[in-house]
Structure 1
Amino acid sequence: MWENLEVEVNICERCNLGKNHENVRIVGQGNKEAEIFFLFDEISKKEAENKLLLEDKNGKLLNKFFKYSNLDIQRCYFTTLTKCYKDDNIVEGKHIKACSGFLDTQIALIKPKYIISVGEKPTKALIKNQKIDMKKMFGNKYDYFGITVIPIYDISYFLYKMTDKEKWKIANIFGNI
């Protein structure tokens, strides 16, 4: 089934990103039997260049949180809402909608216990019946078809605005799942 998903992503033309076959596509990476599923908004330029997620400064920072909280990265799977790199790095709703079936398939195949939605867009994609207020939702638990969703701030927020208290809370979240 994974092979089928990768082929579908690689031949996808559901939106203008997919129709440009020169765009780098990343389905996801990590443990395909993971308990913990990390959902990011989009592929960064550095990730597209390396064709791997977590290869940019945001990924390096996230890896520090994994080490600090003793969260074994081998327990995790990582993916994005969209599977194609967009060079202006602004993913629109139409791109997310076009890729939503791929995300649904990934979640169904992995059957994670937790989904960590990283930022507002991934949180909106999973928690549809609520007004998204990341300050209020940060670190709380929500249900997504029997899977616990825990929204956290976008990684760029970690770099520039996150308070020590918020950093501590993320370390606790990661350490307790």
Structure 2
Amino acid sequence: MKLEIRELWEELKFDLGGMKMPKLDGVKDRKLLLGGGNTKGDILFIGDDPDLFEDENMRVLPGTSGEFFIKLCDLADLSPEKYYITNISKCILKWRELSEEEKKVMKEYLDMQIALIKPKIIVALGPEVVTVLLNEESNISDMRGKVYNWEGNIKVIPTYDPGYVKRVRGLDGKKARPAVEFWNDLKMIKTEI
């Protein structure tokens, strides 16, 4: 059984590597990535930010939203052994930049990842991810802090995009509130596990 799952992961990577994406022709950083982390983790973080990770080993560039996010996970006692991080788009393009056909293919990759990982919790990092997973337009401020039941008894926890939180965390008053709420969401994930 373990060998089959490993083979399926390799097949998924190979498939993704051969994907044709005309928008990326001639782009220097053309890499297509499934994600990084523990493929057997209980938590699956799904974002829409090419800076969340650089490679399968979850390397991140200094000063990026990925570095910020992983540091917050560490502070919330969510160790890398507990999670896998991926994006709804498997390339440097954001979801909104993809064609409808590309979105369909990327959603299939995401569905396959979810099936292989079998997480207990999916954390939807931002409104685009919530829309893709829950099939509804979302006001993330209204949805965050709640747990939604999803297919296969998987819990979905919507929260803010780490890049957005990184930008607003130093602001005063109402604008900084998402940073506090994001931190509370990370702590809630810990208790849900």
Match of 2:103 in 1: 96
Q: Look at both structures and tell me which one has the larger radius of gyration over its CA atoms.
A: 2
Q: Deviations over 1:34-56 (max 9, x none)?
A: 10000011423x95xx4455614
Counterpart in the other structure of 1:123? 130
Root mean square deviation of aligned Cα: 2.5
Structure 1 residue identity aligned to 2:188: I
Contact 2:88-2:129 within 8 A present in 1 as well: yes
What letter is aligned with 2:60?
A: E
How far did residue 98 of structure 1 move? 2.5
Given the alignment, which residue of 142, 146, 161 partners 2:148? 142
| One of 187, 190, 193 as aligned partner of 1:172 | 187
1:100 Cα deviation (Å)? 0.8
CA distance in 2, matches of 1:167, 1:98: 30
Give the TM-score normalised by structure 1: 0.83
Residues 167, 89 of structure 1: CA spacing in aligned structure 2 closer, same or farther, 3 A cutoff? Answer: closer
Alignment correspondent of 1:160: 167
For 1:5-51, what per-residue CA distance to the aligned partner results, in whole angstroms no more than 9, with x for missing partners?
001000012x434666861111111111110000011423x95xx44
- Tell me the number of residue pairs that the alignment of Structure 1 and Structure 2 aligns: 171
> CA–CA distance in 2 between the matches of 1:72 and 1:113?
15
- RCO comparison, higher one (Cα < 8 Å, 6+): 1
The within-5 A match list for 1:1-177 is 1-13=8-20, 15-17=21-23, 23-44=30-51, 47=53, 50-51=54-55, 53=58, 55-56=60-61, 57-86=64-93, 91-92=97-98, 94=100, 95-128=102-135, 130-145=136-151, 146-161=153-168, 162-163=176-177, 165-176=180-191, 177=193
What is the TM-score of this pair, normalised by structure 2? 0.77
Q: CA deviation at 1:175?
A: 2.8
The CA distance in 2 between the partners of 1:6 and 1:126, in whole Å, is 22
Q: 1:107-156 CA deviation, whole Å, 9 max, x = no partner?
A: 0011100000101111111011x441101101211122021000110112
Stretches of structure 2 lacking an aligned partner (at least 5 in a row): 1-7, 169-175
Q: For the residues of structure 1 that align with 2:147 and 2:75, how far apart are their CA atoms? A: 22
